[in-house]
Amino acid sequence: MDVVFTEKTKDIIKANGSALRLQPAEVEVIHLFVQFAGALGQPRSVAEIYGLLFVSEKPLAMDTLIERLHLSKGSASQGLKYLQDLGAVRTMYVAGDRRTHYEAVAELRKLAGRFLRQQILTHFEDSETRLDRIAAQTQKLSDGQRKHINERIKLLRRWERAGRRVLPFVLKMLGGD
């Protein structure tokens, strides 16, 4: 008796070669990233993509991610774009396959650096300008208030500087991996 595959199964086999179902160990690693992403305010789908690429031996194409993680095309496309912009994923060209393949960038220093820069440093930058603007708006306040608010502005300036100074240090400590 011939073995007959449904369309869907054939597609899956064709696209993936083998190993469709996520292995328990893979699920766990992905789950780890999903949790951590939650703490950092990153969307689940992005964490799933990064997680699967992280555990996978070889670079994966978008189709594979979609099938194995049950993502929509849109999520996969956008998630990969986001990760690429962040520098958390890089593309690899695989001979004889015209699909773009992705692999996880697994260097903590790069990851943390990019993330912190994008997420935190941005805000420092425009807070500088904003603080100047605030300092110019304190005339209408009572004496006590004005004095106090100016102290606060100074404090915020110090915080900002401290934050800036810490960053390169952190990156150095996250060093070689």
Partner DNA sequence: TATTTTGTTCATTTTCTATTGAACAAAATG
Partner DNA sequence: CATTTTGTTCAATAGAAAATGAACAAAATA
Sheet holding 101-104, edge to edge: 60-61, 101-104, 89-92
Contact between 62 and DNA (CB under 7 A)?
A: yes
- Residue 113 binds which entry of DNA, a copy of itself, none, CB below 5-8 Å type-dependent: none
DSSP tag of 91: E
- Residue 122 binds which entry of a copy of itself, DNA, none, CB below 5-8 Å type-dependent: a copy of itself
Contact between 78 and DNA (CB under 7 A)?
A: yes
Contact between 99 and DNA (CB under 7 A)?
A: yes
Contact between 42 and DNA (CB under 7 A)?
A: yes
Q: Minimal distance in Å, beta carbon 7 to a copy of itself?
A: 28
Query: In this chain, which of 30, 33, 45, 104 binds DNA, going by CB under 7 A?
Result: 45
Query: In this chain, which of 10, 31, 70, 158 binds DNA, going by CB under 7 A?
Result: 70
57-70 burial: b if 16+ Cβ within 10 Å, else e? eebbbbbbbbbbbe
Helices marked H in 58-121: 62-69, 73-86, 108-116
Q: Minimal distance in Å, beta carbon 32 to a copy of itself?
A: 6
Task: Find the helix packing angle between 62-69 and 73-86, rounded to 10°.
Answer: 120
